[in-house]
Amino acid sequence: MSELLTKAKNAKLAAREIAKNSTEDKNKALLAISDGLRKNVDYLTSENKKDIESGRNQGLHDSLIDRLVLNQQRIIDMADALVQLTELNDPIGSVMEEWTRPNGLKIEKVRVPIGVIGMIYEARPNVTVDAASLSLKTSNAVLLRGSSSAIHSNKALEKVIHEALEGTNVPVEAVQLLEDTSRETAAKMFQLNEYLDVLIPRGGQKLINTVVKNSSIPVLETGAGNCHLYIDESADKNMAIEVAINAKTQRPSVCNAIETILIDQKWADKNGAELLSQLQEANVKIHGDDWTVKHAENVVPATEEDYATEYLDNIVAIKTVESVDEAIQHINTYGTSHSESIITENDAHAIQFLNEVDAAAVYHNASTRFTDGFEFGFGAEIGISTQKLHARGPMGLEALTSMKYQLHGEGQIK
Amino acid sequence: MSELLTKAKNAKLAAREIAKNSTEDKNKALLAISDGLRKNVDYLTSENKKDIESGRNQGLHDSLIDRLVLNQQRIIDMADALVQLTELNDPIGSVMEEWTRPNGLKIEKVRVPIGVIGMIYEARPNVTVDAASLSLKTSNAVLLRGSSSAIHSNKALEKVIHEALEGTNVPVEAVQLLEDTSRETAAKMFQLNEYLDVLIPRGGQKLINTVVKNSSIPVLETGAGNCHLYIDESADKNMAIEVAINAKTQRPSVCNAIETILIDQKWADKNGAELLSQLQEANVKIHGDDWTVKHAENVVPATEEDYATEYLDNIVAIKTVESVDEAIQHINTYGTSHSESIITENDAHAIQFLNEVDAAAVYHNASTRFTDGFEFGFGAEIGISTQKLHARGPMGLEALTSMKYQLHGEGQIK
């Protein structure tokens, strides 16, 4: 039997076992893994060096090499995150709703694990520990398919995790890494509906698209954020400028940073020049419409393509609009339904924007940079969903759970 | 542009509009459709006759012809169901959770429509009205792809729905039927991620598998029910027999009827013969293990295949087991995670069964026949989900909704 099929079958069996583990069992396992990481810093960094070296030999970009690196600090951070995870409530087993039917049948809606999670990800080896620990906390088994560029690091992390789990009640095979990182095997994995309950791709848009297009297993899709800030006519000048600078520049490479600023024409005529100059002082390159080109130096005329682009860089598109309706229309046309914000003192406009903009997170008078599981107070995050089914927006532990109905009767028949 | 692409684009635009409709707008539209159906009984039945005739000419089975039929009673039933739907709470816009972060950001989790629903279904023309009305009530647009065998009936129903919507605030294009029922067009529909947010297949297992295997759009999967009744050692004799007969015979053709009865060996030795004779009196054919063959006449020896079969008929497989563990193991091996029941007076066994059996609905001392949206009190049902993501078990109106986070700030930046 192939490695994939063997491990998928083992994962399904392990899922049944870990579903029976208590919260205490699971937290002990998380602490054991945390200790294992701390004790194995030397082993992990030396295995990691093999990946770094082979990455350098293959001419990987510095930014990619940086993502590959496991140094002492990063290992300690992972170990600390595991301890924090033990402090979060265990969602499994909680009764979400309960009611009794006229025939006396009592119905309880109970939170249960999903089963087997297939995780497909790119360079960062920390995802190995992230995915393993969040799956474990939610009583799921996980089958990890990392990239070949991180294979030594991932195998070393799996070894540390397995050694830690051996001393606990959690089955070792609840966490398994595929050593075969070929595309052919990944393609087979996408069709293993019998053993895998969900696939979670984490990485670039290309990886995510490949999984979405080719998987017959349900996918928890995370994805691009072409996010907008709309500055309404009545927006407070300082608030608007401060939020614009923050949402664009605080970390431009992330999905919840803004890519386009839409400005009400009247606000633009009054305060727009100051916004443009402050953006440029913050080293932001501007691609703008006619109004923008007229009101600042060094503005690249914006094209249709600009409005559809997630720059993930110190670049912003700027466009003036005549109304909140036009802003909503623009966002629903070019946006990726991630995070969208309106700055306004006009409550009617705020309500209209929050209701009519179709996105996971819609903000009134705040930066879009808060769309993540930690900022939302979930204490953990497996990714930010850009789809509408099962989970939308930041996904914490609950996104890794399913439910079942437990019905209690006294012999009811239909 | 193809019919599919034109209608998919229109659906996406209509989804934006219907999302703005009030509960009153939607209920008025549902009542208008209800009136339209009542007024058009003659037109609908005469169009339906064309499908019946061509079905007969093509040699369709009587059972399929029966599913195709739209007679006065069935039309009145659909019209009545629309009135009942107006009486259900509108889930859209309700605040599911709200909390405030330490930085003052107030987060509301609000129920919103999914967007555009693609419905793919077989002969029954009533699904056209069902899917249209449930989508409308939840502010979704729907693109209907029925079967060619029901095309005249479906077109007539769409015409009645459109005429009714014309006098309301709900956009006519919120409900559209594809006239092109070719497989090639269906295959293209499965890949229209840009316009469709979810696909719901309703029909036989072959149709559902085709959609699951070929769709890159998220699927709400409904499916087979290989359901079990486990009679534990301490089960009350009369309750066990009554539930077994009910769960098998009350309507054998449905997914929540049982297909296998597992019996604790000690209970079987005491009461099994009576169960077998009562099943046979109720015209149930028995496929059984060695014990069963020994304790009744006319028992077909059960094979491995029997345990994996959804008979959907007056046939039941019977197997004795040594323990609740063996019963759970059998169900988790052969079951389809639909509906499973234990009859027992032993609470520890009941709890173990409810927790460890992996199914959408698990029952203690009741018939599995209660797994449906009406019996659960949802007031409506779009199907019974056998998957674990988004919705599991009977799907009422809430299964047709998504959520968004609305965040209220005073200029918060990160």
**Beta carbons of A217 and A232 less than 8 angstroms apart:** no
Residue B204's pLDDT is 85
pLDDT range class, residue A203, cuts 50, 70, 90: confident
B367 and A406 within 8 Å at the Cβ level: the answer is no
The mean per-residue pLDDT over the stretch B42-71 comes to 94
Write the burial class of residue A150 (CB in 10 Å: 0-12 exposed, 13-18 middle, 19+ buried). Answer: buried
A 253-292 → B contacts, CB under 8 A:
none
What SS3 state is found at B301?
strand
Q: What is the mean pLDDT of chain A?
A: 96
Set of chain B residues whose Cβ sits within 8 Å of the Cβ of A406: 354, 362, 364
A 194-253 → B contacts, CB under 8 A:
197-198, 212-216, 218-220, 236, 239, 242-243, 246-247, 250
Residue A293 sits at the chain B interface (C-beta within 8 Å): no
CB pairs under 8 A between A and B: 201
Q: At what angle do helices A72-86 and A41-57 cross, to 10 degrees?
A: 120
Set of chain A residues whose Cβ sits within 8 Å of the Cβ of B366: 105, 407-413
Nearest chain B residue to A408 by CA distance is B364
B361 and A101 within 8 Å at the Cβ level: the answer is no
Write the burial class of residue B1 (CB in 10 Å: 0-12 exposed, 13-18 middle, 19+ buried). Answer: exposed
pLDDT range class, residue A45, cuts 50, 70, 90: very high
B365 and A408 within 8 Å at the Cβ level: the answer is yes
B414 and A388 within 8 Å at the Cβ level: the answer is no
Nearest chain A residue to B17 by CA distance is A356
Question: Structural domains in chain A?
Answer: 3-220+391-408 (3.40.605.10), 227-370 (3.40.309.10)
Q: What percent of chain B has pLDDT over 90?
A: 95
Both structure tokens of B119:
């419905």
Q: What percent of chain A has pLDDT over 70?
A: 100
Set of chain B residues whose Cβ sits within 8 Å of the Cβ of A356: 16, 19-20
Strands B401-412 and A361-366: parallel
DSSP code string of A202-254: ES-HHHHHHHHHH-SS-B--B----EEEEE-TT--HHHHHHHHHHHHHS-TTS
Set of chain B residues whose Cβ sits within 8 Å of the Cβ of A364: 406-409
Residue B123's pLDDT is 79
pLDDT range class, residue B352, cuts 50, 70, 90: very high
What SS3 state is found at B217?
coil
B105 and A369 within 8 Å at the Cβ level: the answer is no
Closest CB to B411 among A242, A356, A360: A242
pLDDT range class, residue A250, cuts 50, 70, 90: very high
Q: What would the pLDDT profile of B229-259 be if each residue is shown by its tens digit?
A: 999 999 999 999 999 999 999 999 999 999 9
Q: Flag the least confident range among A379-383, B107-111, B172-176, B313-317.
A: A379-383
Residue A13 sits at the chain B interface (C-beta within 8 Å): no
Residue A214's pLDDT is 95
Set of chain A residues whose Cβ sits within 8 Å of the Cβ of B111: none
Q: What would the pLDDT profile of A291-345 be if each residue is shown by its tens digit?
A: 999 999 999 999 999 999 999 999 999 999 999 999 999 999 999 999 999 999 9
Set of chain B residues whose Cβ sits within 8 Å of the Cβ of A371: 405
The C-alpha angle A266, A269, A270, rounded to 5 degrees, equals 90
pLDDT range class, residue A224, cuts 50, 70, 90: confident
Looking at the complex, report in whole angstroms how far the Cα of residue A50 sits from the nearest Cα belonging to chain B: 37
Q: Determine the distance from the C-alpha atom of residue B303 to the mean position of all C-alpha atoms in its chain, rounded to a whole number.
A: 30
Closest CB to A361 among B216, B402, B407: B407
Q: What would the pLDDT profile of A256-269 be if each residue is shown by its tens digit?
A: 999 999 999 999 99
Residue B12 sits at the chain A interface (C-beta within 8 Å): no
Q: What would the pLDDT profile of A59-96 be if each residue is shown by its tens digit?
A: 998 888 998 999 999 999 999 999 999 999 999 999 99
Q: Flag the least confident range among A203-207, A283-287, B162-166.
A: A203-207
Closest CB to A403 among B191, B376, B392: B392
Is the predicted pLDDT of residue B72 greater than 90, yes or no?
Answer: yes
Closest CA to A306 of A260, A352, A255: A260
C-alpha A175/C-alpha A115 separation (Å) is 12
Set of chain B residues whose Cβ sits within 8 Å of the Cβ of A403: 392
Closest CA to A139 of A36, A25, A220: A25
Q: What percent of chain A has pLDDT over 90?
A: 95
DSSP code string of B134-165: HHHHTT-EEEEE--GGGHHHHHHHHHHHHHHH
The mean per-residue pLDDT over the stretch A14-41 comes to 98
Residue A64's pLDDT is 87
Has the ipTM of the complex gone over 0.90?
A: yes
Nearest chain A residue to B191 by CA distance is A213
Residue B203's pLDDT is 87
**Beta carbons of A227 and A391 less than 8 angstroms apart:** no
pLDDT range class, residue B104, cuts 50, 70, 90: very high
Looking at the complex, report in whole angstroms how far the Cα of residue B172 sits from the nearest Cα belonging to chain A: 20
B243 and A99 within 8 Å at the Cβ level: the answer is no
Set of chain B residues whose Cβ sits within 8 Å of the Cβ of A213: 191, 216
